[in-house]
Structure 1
Amino acid sequence: MKLTHPERVVDAASGATKADVARYYDGVADWLLAELKSRPVALLRAPEGVGEGGFFQKHAGKAAWPGLRLLDAALWPGHDALLALPTRTALLGAVQMNTLEFHAWNARVPRLDKPDRMVFDLDPGDGVDWAAIRDGAVRVRDLLGELGLRSWLKTSGGRGLHVVVPLAARWPVDTVRAFSQAVVQRLAGREPERFVAKSGADNRVGRIFVDYLRNGEGATTVAAYSLRARPGLGVSMPLAWEDLAALESPTHWTVTNALQHLAGRPADPWAELGAHKQSLAAPLKALPSL
């Protein structure tokens, strides 16, 4: 792939260049493409680099590059055609177009109305330290476990953590969103000093808002292995639950060390995620009685 201005620094904090970003995404392409497969994708493009007015792109507009796929507009009535990145060529073409972050839907083509995963995004307020965020993720996992749902974990690449629940793609998006909201409300009801069920910076001072809004129609979450367009270029990195306690920072993995970590990790902690097509039938009945 021809990369224009490979020497341009895109992140002053790390000194990372456009070429560094391209090398990173080339190195994680197999994992990232598996995450994006058959999902509509939104891009955060930052032509001037981190902190200089990037923008989200869900539809093609006038932009086009080799491998970029436009989905059938009928999949999401009333909206322009969504984007998909099915190949390495398409992925690296997006990098050439100054993309730093890749975000994905919770549903796959063609059933965008039936999500195959549910995401809980731990969004800490001011005054919440990292130890409390780690403990909060465990409590989300444990409540889901009480409902019979197994969950997987990744860093957000920012301050928080993402708890991901794979699903059988059978339930309408409104049902999944309502269930995730009820889970968060139950968490906040059990421990109001720790969790809050209402968004907004003022509401979560000293507490964690577990963001269920990622599960609404058309909502996206930053993909596993994506960089974040923030100083340092952190990575949204999958990790095993048993490794969480030893993780000293939510931004431990960045563009500078993530490929080394991936080359040395003994196993993919998300290797079994795709095989779990979990039902919501029993959890929907059980939640009100918890």
Structure 2
Amino acid sequence: MNVIEFHTWNSRAKSIDKPDRMVFDLDPGEGTPWQHVQEAAMLVRALLEELGLDCWLKTTGGKGLHVVVPLTPRLDYEAVKNFSQAVVQHLAKTIPSRFVAKSGPRNRVGKLFVDNLRNGHGATTATAFSARSRPGLGVSMPIRWEQLRELKSGAQWTVAIAREYLSFQREDPWADYWRKRQTLTAAMRRLAAAAG
């Protein structure tokens, strides 16, 4: 296909207007230490679990991490995007020293922008195992939550070492992801109650 990066929508062809995943892209601003990115991933996971949602983790192959929530494809893109925006705004309001909900480099110096714009219709996210078109050619890698502590960066694996790393893996860290069915209905109510 003559490309380096592969990006996909959050829905499949058979149900193109109804996403089957929701993505939170943890994008660190200038001067944000890696430890804050790791802590941010844990905080996002904790909030999602409080809302009754399971989530999975992958490196971006760049500076940050992706927290991915599998969904039963029932709601349209607008509803999923609005919910993800409400989650991000809740994070920024609750922990303003770490999170910002507004994009732009000036807004996130020393903080993390949690990008929910990946959840809009037609928006895409770098796929798992995709190389990234940046210095070092980092690879977006699905990982277990238990690996988060050991990570050194969002580009820990590169095209030079990813294949060797994968050859020693015996289990799919996302095995349960493919079997998980969950909707946002109850989570929406819980978030509204927490925000109200």
TM-score, structure 1 length as denominator? 0.66
2:131 counterpart of 1:222 = no
Task: Give the number of the structure whose alpha-carbon radius of gyration is greater.
Answer: 1
Q: Which residue of structure 1 aligns with residue 185 of structure 2? A: 281
2:86 aligns with: 182
The aligned amino acid for 1:127 is: G
- Name the residue aligned to 2:66: 162
User: Aligned partners of 2:152, 2:108: CA distance in 1, in Å?
Assistant: 22
Q: Are residues 1:207 and 2:108 paired?
A: no
Letter in 1 for 2:125: T
> Partners of 1:239 and 1:167 in 2: how far apart?
19
User: In the alignment, does 2:138 pair up with 1:262?
Assistant: no
Partner Cα separation in structure 2 for residue 145 and residue 129 of structure 1: 25
Q: Does 2:50 match 1:146?
A: yes
- Unaligned 5+ segments in structure 2 are none
- The one of the two structures with greater contact order (alpha-carbon pairs below 8 A, sep at least 6) is 2
Give the drift of 1:250.
1.8
After TM superposition, give the deviation of residue 129 of structure 1 in Å.
0.9
C-alpha deviation, 1:252, in angstroms? 1.2
Q: Map of 1:187-202 to 2, 5 A cutoff?
A: 187-202=91-106
Distance in structure 1 (CA, Å) of the matches to 2:183 and 2:7? 25
Q: Separation in 2 of the partners of 1:181 and 1:281?
A: 15
CA drift at 1:150: 0.3
Conservation of the 8 A alpha-carbon contact between 2:64 and 2:153: no
Cα shift at 1:246: 1.0
Unaligned runs of 5+ in 1: 1-93
1:237 aligns with 2:145: no
Contact 2:84 2:119 in 1 (8 A): yes
Query: Mean Cα displacement is larger for which, 257-266 or 114-123?
Result: 257-266
Counterpart secondary structure, 2:4: strand
| TM-superposed deviation, 1:249 | 2.1
* Fraction of identical pairs, as percent: 56
Alignment of 1:3-152 (within 5 A): 94=1, 97=2, 99-152=3-56
Per the normalisation by structure 2, the TM-score is 0.97
Residue 110 of structure 1 and its aligned partner are, at CA, apart by: 2.6
Q: CA deviation at 1:248?
A: 1.7
Matches of 2:73 and 2:59 in 1, distance apart? 24
CA distance in 2, matches of 1:265, 1:274: 18
- Deviation of 1:271 after TM superposition, in Å, equals 1.2
Q: Structure 1: which amino acid aligns with 2:126?
A: V
Q: Could you tell me which residue of structure 2 aligns to residue 272 of structure 1?
A: 176
* Distance in 1 between residues matched to 2:154 and 2:22, nearest whole Å: 21
